[in-house]
Structure 1
Amino acid sequence: MSTGTYWPAENASGFYPSGSSERPIGTVLWDYQNCIPLTQIPTRDKPVLLLTPVVVPPAGSNPADDRDPFEILGQTISGRNIPIRHVPYTKAKGITGVHVAFVKRAGAVIFVITHLAGTDNLLQLEFAELVARICESRPFILLVCCNLAGRNISNTHFRTLVHIAGYTNADLLVAATLLLDSDPGLPMPADTQGRLDAEPAWLVQSWAAERDLMETCALWQACLPYQFHLNPSTLGSLLKRDGYALHYVVRESTRGALIGFCAAYATFADSSDVALIGSIAAVVVHPEYRRQGVGSSLYDAAMSKFGRVRGVQKLHLGSTFPRLLCGFTAEMADASQWFARKGWPVNMQGRGDQGGLVADWILHFTDLTGVMIPYSGLGYRQCYESDAQQVLDLEHRPPATTSHGFGWYDQYARTIQSEHIGDIIVGFDNGDTIVATAITYIPGQQSPAATDIPWPGSLNDNVGGVTCICIRVSTNFANDPIYEGADVGLSRDATIANLLYACYRALSGKGMTSMFLDGISFGDQVLMSLGFRKWAEYGPVWREI
């Protein structure tokens, strides 16, 4: 057998305590995922994936035994009625698309490493890091079957680490016992324990308003541009959302100061009462504690929670409603690359289902241009209770200024059910069919939009807001008598312009002097022609769970 394609056998005799040279040792060094024993992982129809290297059998093995050295580990685990899928990986090919497919179908992954010495042998650790990223929220267990002395194994990348002396049958039976029975294992030799340099483990706690709000606000203001600063009252109202807020904090162990915060939400995607969007709204870490695993610990906690929330089908970097940030700003380039390393498609803007950049716009009414707005053929008024069914029919009147309307149905439904139903502006045709809608709001009021979008109020009490602009799908314009002979794109722009003018009249009638538009990804020319200017620009990122 040529050893060029295989990792060679190692002598693990130095791992045995003095006086116990025939006694295999092992331990669970840490398990921050709480996934050991394996029997507590709900596998159902998803097996545990066992990824093992193709290696030369350990010294002392029976030459006539041509079985995979790790077969005994898989058999022992499956003997506890845990479905197991054993898939080898090789030194030459590493982790292939086949492995990725198996990971995606697995309920949990056990990745085995047998070699850490030498540049060539560090490949196994690199393969493990790759698989850990592919796992996303799935439990990932790193099983190390070699000397760990002097090795810096990151507990932010590897949230569960099991160590055994080697990969003889006896060693692997020890590993099976650790994985199945939650036995903490036999003590490691002092020299091995002392030289195992792991990154500090950060204690992640669920966010509690009474305990954490003031420090969270201070951290927010210390880390974000001044434009996005919020006072404790406003930030608290956005974060305290019982039922769908999934926030976490990390505190410094010595002084107890709050040094990291993750804001996350699980909110309704559309009119379905089961489809949810999981949003990572922000991961904020104090500058002095960056690059020490704080952000990864917070992120892992949120992603793990999303994996356990029933109905979460899509993930979002940014937030829908309540609206903190739509995505990354230009000042957050380092953060975007941090998420890219965690598997988010941050460089796919404008391709696939990612959509393009998203912007917030503001119009000071003194800047409203005298441009002639083409007649759209529609009438505009406040929403009545009798309009409710038509207004909620967003399937035929989708978002007009952005690619994604996640959370918009819920925003309209909550507004209709409130005393602020008149904040909805509708555009209707000659047959009284509603063709266009938008939601206006006044800072400080308790309307759904006003409590979900903080930025107008952060600018000035006289800045009103407009959100969730919807118009009838473009194919209907060409077939609608009121647009006969008109250019479809022009008619669409005319409808948006007329709708915004109706919103301007509604807001100015309530004493507002400016108008704030959020989450706009197209229609820039229309907005600039009216006198709007861009206030902020974001790069939202989406992915499947």
Structure 2
Amino acid sequence: MSKLPSNVDEDEDGMDIDSNLQLERSQQIASRTLAAATALAKVLRDAPEWLSDIRRLQPQDVIILLTPVVFPVSQEPTDSSDPFEPLGRYLSRRHAKIRHVPYTKRHGITSTHLGFIKRGHAIILCLAEQPLQLELVDIVLAIRGDKPVVVVCCSPLDTKQALPFPTVIDTAGYSRPALEATAELIFAERSLPTAHSLPDSSNESTVQPKVWPVEDFVEQRDIASVATLWLACLGERFALDQQTLANVLRKPGYSKHYVVRNPSTGETLGFCATYLSYVDREGEKLVASLAILVVHPQTRFRGIGLSLHNHAINSLKRTRGIIRLQLGSTFPRLLYGPPSDDQSSDEWFRRRGWQFDKGAPGQGQVVHDFLLEFKDWHYRPGSSSTTEYRVCTQDDMTKVIDLVERTSALDDRLGWFDQYWTLINGPNVKDIVVAVEEQDIVGTALTYSPGGSQMSNNIPWPCRIGNDVGGVTCVSMFPDKRHIIMSGLINTCVETLRTQGMKRLFLDGVTDHSQFFTNLGFKEWARYRDVWKSV
């Protein structure tokens, strides 16, 4: 007769109970317990194996538990207990350092929560009430650094609802048994079937999101497939040939681009471009641009875009001196921001903390690109103006730089300063047009023509429209001067480009007074939303 396990009782006579019978009973009880536990909590996804990372934490490491403020399970008006408090206790039995921080539906993740997240070594975020606040997960993932994040969904899931997060646990509500089963599951005290996709859907072809490996963009290897992907996603209006796209992407030291590729074929499934631009002459502050993020139409909703977005944002935030993250780019300019006539991805980006709806700078303010046929130019010079308009010289550059530095900060046009700064002591100072009053520079604009300067590579759209299209960009002046000198400054740009053989003018980045430019003969070429957030 085999010896019983040490935790099996003996009978009153001190004789061993039949081991086979006891083992059978134990197996039956374990089977029923496992089935019940499986119904209470199960892993939907753990692609990066973050649960294993949590189990390997050191005793001194801190786990941050973020839970919603919800009605108690009892639903009794006199019950003021926190339904998630038991989860904190169950976890603390398995790991000593648990910091339980509730959040409210109204305020979500606040600066207090961010402080805890930054100090912690792992994060467990619970969601409970429908509609699920998925944007909270995006915020936590965006600032997590290299910490594991476990999302615990304590609400019945719609079988078609996507939870495109790396590690997700689904529980049968937030009763005490369900929360205890969750703690056991997190610390691997029982073995449960792991569902690597969300609950079964009637659509068998649905591919659930996952975390994809993100690789650095390598021009020689990737440019052809990225150019094909670009056309498939953006269409003819914003079409760029392979060489032009390569020129715009190539900015050594100030750009970093990423791809997700099919592991079998090497085909590019998603692409993300990022840039850095200096804000002022001190060279310590930077604007970081998430310039473009595209995923092939046939492979969307699989987590490719999320993988690229999170990887790019985390990489940018690690760069010293970043004061702003921009969705879109100034220079080099792929798209100024999300196009106004395509809002299909707005909700996706909104859940990741980007604001589109308020019409303010950085939160959806409308930005225009205009195109002017010179034959339609309706300029009427002012009869009493004392302003002189002319081409810039090297002697003007100190005053030009000072004006641009001050007005770009005032108008939230960070990144424009860098375009003027690069022209100092170079041959292309003549591309700058200035407005002068009593020896003071009161307005300035940059002109460029196809192949004439680096600016024609930074803004590819004039060449895309035609070889007779010149450009005007970074128009800078104080607000009280706009109605006085704007038309005269633009007229000097028109005449400058006309002498270079241009017949049309592309004006980008206009955020206000669009009717003013329409009255002068401009027609809208594209419209975007200005979207950014301070860091």
Q: Sort the TM-score into its range (normalised by shorter chain).
A: 0.7 to 0.9
Q: 1:30 aligns with which of 47, 58, 76?
A: 47
Secondary structure of the 2:353 match is: coil
Secondary structure of the 1:230 match is: coil
Counterpart residue identity of residue 366, structure 2: L
CA shift, 1:380, in A, is: 2.1
1:97 aligned onto 2:125: no
Separation (CA, whole Å) in 2 of partners of 1:515 and 1:248: 33
Q: 1:227 aligns with which of 237, 247, 253?
A: 237
Counterpart residue identity of residue 443, structure 1: P
Question: Are the equivalent residues in 1 in contact too, given 2:153–2:168 (CA < 8 A)?
Answer: no
Separation (CA, whole Å) in 2 of partners of 1:527 and 1:283: 31
Q: 1:523 to 1:343 in 2, by over 3 A?
A: same
Question: Are the equivalent residues in 1 in contact too, given 2:44–2:195 (CA < 8 A)?
Answer: no
Counterpart for residue 8 of structure 2: none
1:411 aligned onto 2:419: yes
Q: 1:133 to 1:88 in 2, by over 3 A?
A: same
Counterpart residue identity of residue 421, structure 2: A
1:460 aligned onto 2:466: yes
Q: 2:456 aligns with which of 443, 450, 459?
A: 450
Counterpart residue identity of residue 494, structure 2: Y
Question: Are the equivalent residues in 1 in contact too, given 2:362–2:530 (CA < 8 A)?
Answer: no
Separation (CA, whole Å) in 1 of partners of 2:421 and 2:183: 57
Secondary structure of the 2:482 match is: helix
1:273 aligned onto 2:283: yes
Q: 2:437 aligns with which of 419, 429, 439?
A: 429
Counterpart for residue 49 of structure 1: 64
CA shift, 1:279, in A, is: 1.8
Q: 2:136 aligns with which of 126, 131, 134?
A: 131
Counterpart for residue 301 of structure 1: 311
Counterpart for residue 111 of structure 1: 124
Separation (CA, whole Å) in 2 of partners of 1:258 and 1:234: 19
Q: 1:26 to 1:493 in 2, by over 3 A?
A: closer
Separation (CA, whole Å) in 2 of partners of 1:147 and 1:98: 17
Q: 1:87 to 1:425 in 2, by over 3 A?
A: same
Secondary structure of the 1:415 match is: coil
| 1:189-243 per-position Cα deviation (integer Å, ceiling 9, x unaligned) | 4586799775344332221111111111111112213121111111111112222
CA shift, 1:29, in A, is: 3.0
Separation (CA, whole Å) in 2 of partners of 1:16 and 1:144: 21
1:85 aligned onto 2:99: yes
The more displaced of 236-245 and 100-109 is 100-109
**Percent of aligned pairs with the same amino acid:** 31
Counterpart residue identity of residue 308, structure 2: L
TM-score, normalising length: structure 2: 0.75
1:378-417 aligned within 5 A: 378-394=387-403, 398=407, 403-417=411-425
| 1:398-419 per-position Cα deviation (integer Å, ceiling 9, x unaligned) | 159x943111111100022432
Secondary structure of the 1:510 match is: coil
Question: Are the equivalent residues in 2 in contact too, given 1:148–1:196 (CA < 8 A)?
Answer: no
CA shift, 1:469, in A, is: 0.9
Secondary structure of the 2:248 match is: helix
Question: Are the equivalent residues in 1 in contact too, given 2:279–2:414 (CA < 8 A)?
Answer: yes
Counterpart for residue 320 of structure 1: 330
Separation (CA, whole Å) in 2 of partners of 1:535 and 1:98: 39
CA shift, 1:322, in A, is: 0.6
Counterpart for residue 70 of structure 1: 88
CA shift, 1:291, in A, is: 2.3
Separation (CA, whole Å) in 1 of partners of 2:468 and 2:497: 9
Q: 1:443 to 1:502 in 2, by over 3 A?
A: same
Counterpart residue identity of residue 133, structure 1: D
Alpha-carbon RMSD across the aligned residues, in angstroms, is 4.3
Secondary structure of the 1:437 match is: strand
Q: 1:199 to 1:153 in 2, by over 3 A?
A: farther
Separation (CA, whole Å) in 1 of partners of 2:502 and 2:508: 17
Counterpart for residue 4 of structure 1: none
CA shift, 1:68, in A, is: 4.4
Separation (CA, whole Å) in 1 of partners of 2:335 and 2:158: 42
Structure 2 unmatched ranges of 5 or more: 1-28, 74-83, 201-207
Secondary structure of the 1:330 match is: coil
CA shift, 1:253, in A, is: 3.6
Secondary structure of the 1:300 match is: helix
1:441 aligned onto 2:448: yes
Separation (CA, whole Å) in 2 of partners of 1:508 and 1:473: 28
Counterpart residue identity of residue 269, structure 1: V
| 1:83-116 per-position Cα deviation (integer Å, ceiling 9, x unaligned) | x632246xxxx64537534323221562255xxx
| 1:294-331 per-position Cα deviation (integer Å, ceiling 9, x unaligned) | 22222222222223222222222211111111112233
CA shift, 1:379, in A, is: 1.4
Separation (CA, whole Å) in 2 of partners of 1:417 and 1:74: 64
1:95-494 aligned within 5 A: 95-97=105-107, 100-105=110-115, 106-107=117-118, 110-111=123-124, 123=128, 129-135=134-140, 137-139=142-144, 141-142=149-150, 156=164, 158-161=165-168, 172=183, 175=186, 188-189=191-192, 199-349=209-359, 351=360, 354=363, 356-369=365-378, 371-373=380-382, 375-394=384-403, 398=407, 403-430=411-438, 432-445=439-452, 447-474=453-480, 492-494=482-484
Q: 2:519 aligns with which of 523, 526, 529?
A: 529
Question: Are the equivalent residues in 1 in contact too, given 2:44–2:167 (CA < 8 A)?
Answer: no
Larger radius of gyration: 2
Counterpart for residue 116 of structure 1: none
Secondary structure of the 1:226 match is: coil
Question: Are the equivalent residues in 2 in contact too, given 1:315–1:542 (CA < 8 A)?
Answer: yes
